Amino acid sequence: MSELSHNHDEHHADHHQEEGPHSSFSGYMLGFMASVFLTAIPFWLVMGDVFSSRNTTVLIILAFALVQILVHMVYFLHMNFQSEGGWTMLSLIFTVVLLFITLSGSLWVMYHMNVNMMPSMMSGGS
């Protein structure tokens, strides 16, 4: 029984497309090297106090995080426009839109709530 199903699997894999995306050693290594680079630099920037301005450092490490997320998506999660007939990319774009609305909306609304609060109600915040 198991021998039979095993043969069927081999047959299936040879004549049809493999279930998931095909990955390569060079792809994984490239992604890994890029990730090490993109992780090490933000840690160095913060731990070594490279920039005196906080805002400069924040912007740079956020940019590095964004690039690293893209690297992971492409080299580890094998994202592209073709997989599953484009449905994975479509759902990812939809999720990113929702993510953007959730994050920016929450931060924007709550920031103005804090700014417009009566001074007497502020509990010693800066």
Binding site for another protein (CB under 8 A): 2, 5-6, 9, 12-13, 16-20, 22-25, 28-29, 31-32, 35-36, 39, 42-43, 46-47, 54, 57-58, 61-62, 64-65, 68-69, 72-73, 76-77, 84, 87-88, 91-92, 94-95, 98-99, 102-103, 105-107, 110, 123-125
Tell me whether residue 25 or residue 81 sits nearer to another protein (CB atom). Answer: 25
Tell me whether residue 5 or residue 120 sits nearer to another protein (CB atom). Answer: 5
Class of residue 91 by CB neighbours under 10 A (exposed 0-12, middle 13-18, buried 19+)? exposed
Tell me whether residue 119 or residue 124 sits nearer to another protein (CB atom). Answer: 124
Alpha carbon distance 4, 40 (integer Å) = 50
Query: Between helices 25-47 and 54-75, what is the axis angle to 10°?
Result: 170
Tell me whether residue 120 or residue 123 sits nearer to another protein (CB atom). Answer: 123
Could you tell me the smallest distance in angstroms from the CB atom of residue 62 to another protein? 7
Alpha carbon distance 40, 34 (integer Å) = 10
CA distances to 28, 38, 54, 98, 119 from 31, in Å: 5, 10, 29, 27, 50
Ramachandran angles phi, psi of 5, nearest 5°:
-70, -30
Could you tell me the smallest distance in angstroms from the CB atom of residue 44 to another protein? 10
Could you tell me the smallest distance in angstroms from the CB atom of residue 13 to another protein? 8
